[in-house]
Amino acid sequence: MTLHLTNARIPGERGLLGNLINISIDNGVVSALDFIGQTTSVTLPSATRAARVVQGDDQVIDLDGRWIMPGLWDSHVHMGQWAQARRRLDLSHTTSVDAVLERVSQRADSADPALVGFGWRPAEISGQTSLESLDAVTGDKPTYLFSVDMHSVWLNSAGFAAQGVTATESGVVSERACFEIATRVSDIDDETLDAWIDEAAREAARRGVVGITDFEMAPNSAAWRRRISRGADTLRVEAAIYPEFLETAVEAGMRTGDTVASTGGLLRVGPLKIILDGSLGSQTARCFEPYPGATGPAARGVLNLPLPELVSLMGRAWAAGIAPAVHAIGDEAVDMALDAFEMVQCAGTIEHAQLVRAEDVSRFSQLKVLASVQPRHLVDDRTAAERLWLGRTGQAFAFRQMRDAGVAMRFGSDAPAAALDPWQAIVAAVTRTAPGGEAWNPQECLSVDEAVQCSVRSHVAVGQPADFAVLDIDPLEVDDLSSLPLDLATTPVSATFVGGRVTHSLLEKGSP
């Protein structure tokens, strides 16, 4: 059976001057296109041919003049953490330690065996965290308050005891200790987690999302095979591998980009995730210059492994066909990651790349290293960056420099650090500000079209996967940039298709 999507429009028209397009889909792939009406200054793909005549058992969906575009990807998600963060005590928008403690005190008497919060920003709240102050409002209930970047966690004494970790005076631990605690605290039964993730996936589909790269710290591929076997078919997934699971993956013959068997083509092997440094908010991102007022060995942030070890790990993965994805936020970490890519001579990505020296920008394209960036962070981290990277923020989130240097970029959210909604990333890359504010380093703004291209992986063309988002507005024809955040961040998505299957629809009564 062929699916025909009729009376669609292409965003920006691309020279079609208002013409409509009919799309035929067979076996999840675009099999034919039919451009209706007069065309002017149009070069159609060589593979394009007229759409076939509708047969008796074919399905027809009339898009009634709506705009159709490739479905959106979020190239950096922690799906399990995102699903759970939505159910944890919300500590976002707190501006002081006292405000955090006030929210915690309101939940301390709940029947839950432990209290888990998420979303505070260590670099932006006033006051000092302490073990004593958290104990005072939580008593003997184990309490874990994760920062928005998941690189720090504030515990009470009961939490330290439950985790078998030595308590600190501040109550805060960061990086590896935080990751280990997060893994244990997030260890819930598969059935519950899968249901929460399926709900989050369906919400993503409602925003036009067709695929994610999942960097959850777990045996990711096996977990997604289980979910898909149970009917979770809303998203395409690239499942990342962490170093502790690398040898198992190599022995299983897993290679980045390979489709995992028995998943209907929805699951592919992702990259090897290597966390080289920390985060800006936790002042652990590794930089060439020290953080203001910081002293000691961590004054410039942290490196989780030295260059020889990084090169060895990347080389081992690449020899087995697994591409590395190196988390590097500070400029020294980015420089080291690029050195490692040059030494190994491999493809891959640098995740985040928030602060990049001017001389290192061109190295991305020279080495064919992809920059996997999260534009929403430039809005959320602006205040912290201006204080902690004083005098260097001209090289922070340098998207225009990257684009002009020919660097391939992909956008993500780093959910739960930001919402799993690529429209928010697109708006942030174009406006570089919160709604109503002035652009931060406006010379680094991208156009809407450029930002959209960083958020998709296919085209509306014959032979391409039928992964689409159908919109009620044309995202490339926003006349007033001041209205862009509202227009795009809330843009109505009428339908989403993955491989020609409807994963979300407002086109007719009822939605999947």
pLDDT in tens, 282-323: 999 999 999 999 999 999 999 999 999 999 999 999 999 999
Q: 59 and 120: one domain?
A: no
Cβ-proximal residues to 109 (8 Å cutoff; 6+ apart), any chain:
none
Residue 101 and residue 168 share a domain: yes
- One domain, residues 424 and 468: no
Distance CA 115, CA 28 (A): 45
Q: How many CB atoms lie within 10 A of CB 274?
A: 24
| Distance of alpha carbon 288 from alpha carbon 509, whole angstroms | 57
CATH number at residue 488: 2.30.40.10
Asked if 155 and 295 sit in the same domain, the reply is no
User: Which domain covers residue 167, as residue numbers?
Assistant: 79-186
**Do residue 463 and residue 452 come from a single domain?**
no
Question: CA torsion sign, 258 to 261 to 264 to 267?
Answer: negative
DSSP 481: G
Question: Which of these ranges, 44-53, 163-172, 434-443, has the smallest mean pLDDT?
Answer: 44-53
pLDDT (mean) for 439-465: 96
Average pLDDT over residues 100-121: 95
Q: Are both 424 and 391 inside the same structural domain?
A: yes
- The CA distance from 318 to 306, in Å, is 18
CATH number at residue 115: 3.10.310.70
In total, how many domains does the chain have? Answer: 4
322 shares its domain with 423: yes
Please give the Cα distance from 170 to 154 (Å, whole number).
8
Same domain assignment for residues 9 and 29: yes
Taking the C-alpha atoms of residue 288 and residue 295, their distance in angstroms, rounded to an integer, is: 14
Q: Which of 149, 170, 186 is the last residue of a domain?
A: 186
Residues 262 and 201 in one domain: yes
- Here the tokens at position 500 are 């020609």
| Cα-based distances in Å from 428 to 290, 377, 401 | 28, 8, 16
Please give the pLDDT value at position 45: 42
| The last residue of a domain, from among 411, 432, 457 | 457
3-state secondary structure of 163: helix
SS3 391: coil
Q: Which of 163, 186, 209 is the last residue of a domain?
A: 186
334 with 427, same domain: the answer is yes
Nearest alpha carbon to residue 80 among 226, 277, 282, 215: 215
495 has which bridge partners?
A: 470, 505
77-86 per-position pLDDT tens digit:
999 999 999 9
Radius of gyration of the chain (CA): 23
| Average pLDDT over every residue of 234-256 | 98
410 and 380 belong to one structural domain: yes
Is the Cβ–Cβ distance between 23 and 35 less than 8 Å? Answer: no
Do 153 and 212 lie in a common domain? no
